[in-house]
A and B are shown apart, each in its own frame.
Chain A
Amino acid sequence: MSMKVKDMNRVLNIDLTKKDIKIEARGDLFDAYLGGTGVAIKLLEEECQKGIDPLSASNPIIFAVGPLTALYPSASKTVAMFKSPLTGNLGESHCGGRSAMAIKFAGYGAIVIKGSSDIPVYLAIHGDDVHFRDASSIWGVEAVTVGRILREAEKGSGVRTIMRIGRAGEKMVRYACAVCETYRHFGRLGLGAVMGSKKLKALIVSADKSVEIPKATRKEYKKVYDEIQDVVVETDAMEKYHDLGTSGKLYDLNKIGGMAYKNLESASAPEEIAKELSGENFAEKFLSKRVSCSHCPVGCVHLASLRELYEPGYYFKTSIISYDNEPIWATGFMLGMKKAEDCLRLMDAVDRVGMDVMSTGVTLAWATEAYEKGIITKEHTDGLDFRWGDVQVYSEAIIKIVEMPNEFYQNLAKGSDYASSVYGGQDYALAFGGNEMPEYHTGIACYLNNLTGARHSHLDSAGYDLDQKLIGKEFTIEDIVNALLKEEEWRQILSSLVVCFFARKVYTAEAITKALDAIGMENWTAEKLDDLGRDIHRAKMDFKFREGFSLAELRIPKRIFEVPTPHGFLKEEDIRKAIELYGEMIGRKE
């Protein structure tokens, strides 16, 4: 069945309480806000009332794709939006896999999930056919196994996505993630916990439609498609992300002293550790396969194969574990691992329960330092001896965070910001705006990004990138704040289309307007895109402020001022000044 381009605006509304659905055409939203982030924030405004508990039935989950989704190379991501149980304000997470393609060709621009089920359910969305299915028999099952079961139970092989949560989501660990296609994640900010709070174990979406390109623009569509494809394949993106993958930059980042090591005890690991945990070493020793998201020729997803003896008597198992830059950092550098295979073991442990690996790593790093300093004792840890590099202890701790045998682990399951507010050690609890930090200790821009970015994600405004570009150059705080804000505004357009940020250099304003034109979406100009990017960004910030976010009250852990960056020591007064400046630029004094 085919649909017209102008019909790519249907919203599937699902009510888990009433077990009811409604499909609505929302041309009003998609015409004005493109799709993805732009439409999602508008739907969140409509569906999420002020001050609600993120883990209550009132919190909506919104999945949105955009006009370029699955029609152009690397337009391969889905945006999820919800109120975050981790930060208490804007929850937004992006995922690839087959999710975007499946939602688009199931015939939807967005899926909105409201309410809460009385029994565990999973949703089977086969095009316009939507089924609520009893998930009692898969409640409590690891995310990877759920995938295996649903793969057999449901149709749509090859043209579907299977999004699911693990035990961490069920137990509402605040940084539980949702897993797609076993190896991709809506990682950050706790989508898994929100799904768990609704007793929604999984959703499977399968494609049964296509988009009819208007006859008048078909030739142009193919031409523009080819132009974009050529650039994707020929820019450095291909080499950078396909060869070694995102982990290719770890070694160099460590070398310039721009990466948190052992809870930012220092900004670089010893040379032998950096070599062991480098993308090169992972590729040489463990890389077994590279795969891609649907409709992306890059193939940045790197899968490692780890063969282990797990019981005497030649009982071997081979685990396939997806690795990336951030997971290697969070399990490896941050926790003082000495061996690459130990990182893989921890990534596997985190994946099995279904948590965000970055928040998990940073939270455990805080706990380790707090234990070293004596504010956390063995009584808290339920007998575990937290120690840098101890893969066994960390593996057990990961399970305890989910099982929550005592109050300490209940608190740890709320993240490092919360746990440190209970036990102390806030100076080295490396969360910003409530979200655990990414790896970068590159300079002022990366921290401003963490603090002011709407999602407190390094991908909001790529401050780490700006820092590295500015090494050895003169700049003012105004320059930095300006550049970060401009970048974040522009990224709203990319995530509304929705294209992968790895293809950001390909999707210039000119390429975007041509791509839209060629599918019959005329009248978009570079200027209009710029304006829209700003509007979407402000709408996201409005949501945050509405939910109690405050620039003035942002907590900045002292630790970041105690360790030099490649730009030298950072000063708190500079960061505070920059935050104030940022507030002025977006018209917010709070």
Chain B
Amino acid sequence: MAKKKLAALDVNKCIGCMECMFACSRRVGRGGFDKSAIRVRSAGGIERGFVIVVCRACENPPCAKVCPTDALSARKEGGVILKEDKCIGCGFCTQSCIMGAIFWDNERNKPIVCKYCGECEDYCVHNAIGMVGIKAEER
């Protein structure tokens, strides 16, 4: 099966319910969003709509480039893979991502990066987000 990534398909359909955020943390037995790799917030007032912040699975990810310990490495299909035992919690990756799509786990002092598992997609009943093919032709 072709590898996929998560994408904001149509931000206009986002109702700001945050179910994607809750779904992400639920995977690890949490009610809340402190383990979530996706965020939704208003674009400065609900009337302006919402911003969906999620890893774009960059082809040449800046976050991996700045990681001093190679804990973050570029994934062949785009995006990154985190090797937690190598991570020293410096936080450079979060600074390098201009999307703000690398979140922080304060309990473990490590980044939270999207694994492209698609769990959140199942709870987006209005189809604002969804899994898409990595390559343009698969979309």
Contacts and interface: CB of A to CB of B under 8 A. Distances in A.
Interface in A212-237: 212-213, 215, 218, 221-222, 225, 229, 233
Interface string B11-53: 0000111110010011001111111000111101111011000
Contacts of B106: 1
B33 A213 contact: no
Contact of A157 (B22, B29, B31, B41): B41
Nearest to A294: B18
Contacts of A18: none
Contact of A291 (B16, B25, B33): B16
A347 to B, nearest CB: 14
A260 interface: no
A229 B30 CA distance: 17
Contacts of A222: 26
A443 interface: no
Nearest to B14: A291
Given A1-B106, A291-B16, A297-B19, A182 B45 contact: yes
A320 B40 contact: no
B107 interface: yes
Report, as a range, how many residues of chain B touch the other chain: 20 to 34
B19 A2 contact: no
A344 interface: no
Interface in B63-105: none
A209 interface: yes
A297 B123 contact: yes
B47 A295 contact: no
Nearest to A209: B32
A292 B15 contact: yes
Interface string A1-21: 110000000000000000000
Contacts of A148: 45
Nearest to A229: B123
Contacts, number: 94
Contacts of B25: 210
B126 interface: yes
A220 to B, nearest CB: 11
A374 interface: no
A238 to B, nearest CB: 8
Contacts of A71: 31
B134 to A, nearest CB: 28
A158 B40 contact: yes
A119 to B, nearest CB: 28
Interface string A294-306: 1111010101000
A54 interface: no
Given A289-B49, A320-B47, A299 B15 contact: yes
B45 A295 contact: no
B10 to A, nearest CB: 13
Interface residues of A, number: 44
A147 B126 CA distance: 27
Interface in A223-261: 225, 229, 233, 238
Contacts of A158: 39-42
A510 to B, nearest CB: 21
A222 B122 CA distance: 13
B117 interface: no
B16 to A, nearest CB: 5
Contact of A299 (B17, B30, B40, B41): B17
B46 A210 contact: no
Contacts of A301: 15
B17 A151 contact: no
Give the most central of A70, A289, A303, A320: most B CB within 10 Å.
A289
B9 interface: no
Nearest to B26: A222
A43 interface: no
Contacts of A182: 45-47
Nearest to B18: A294
A2 B45 contact: no
A442 to B, nearest CB: 31
A91 interface: no
A376 interface: no
B119 to A, nearest CB: 10
A157 B39 CA distance: 11
A181 B35 CA distance: 25
Nearest to B30: A210
B41 A210 contact: no
B33 A210 contact: yes
A105 B32 CA distance: 7
B125 interface: yes
Contacts of A181: 46
Contacts of B30: 2, 210-213
B101 to A, nearest CB: 14
A79 interface: no
A1 B47 contact: no
B45 to A, nearest CB: 7
Give the most central of B17, B26, B49: most A CB within 10 Å.
B17
Contacts of A73: 19
Nearest to A148: B45
Interface string B106-122: 11000000000000000
Contacts of A207: 32
Contacts of B50: 291
A26 interface: no
A295 B49 CA distance: 17
Closest 10 CB pairs of A and B: A210-B32, A158-B41, A299-B15, A211-B31, A320-B47, A292-B17, A292-B15, A71-B31, A218-B29, A210-B34
Interface of B: 15-19, 22, 25-26, 29-35, 39-42, 44-47, 49-50, 106-107, 123, 125-126
25 contacts: A2-B30, A2-B107, A73-B19, A147-B45, A151-B45, A158-B42, A182-B45, A182-B47, A210-B25, A210-B31, A211-B32, A213-B26, A213-B29, A213-B31, A222-B26, A289-B46, A290-B15, A291-B15, A292-B16, A293-B17, A297-B126, A299-B17, A299-B126, A320-B47, A519-B31
Given A181-B46, A299-B126, 13 more contacts: A158-B40, A158-B41, A159-B33, A159-B41, A209-B34, A212-B29, A215-B29, A222-B26, A292-B15, A294-B17, A295-B17, A295-B22, A299-B17
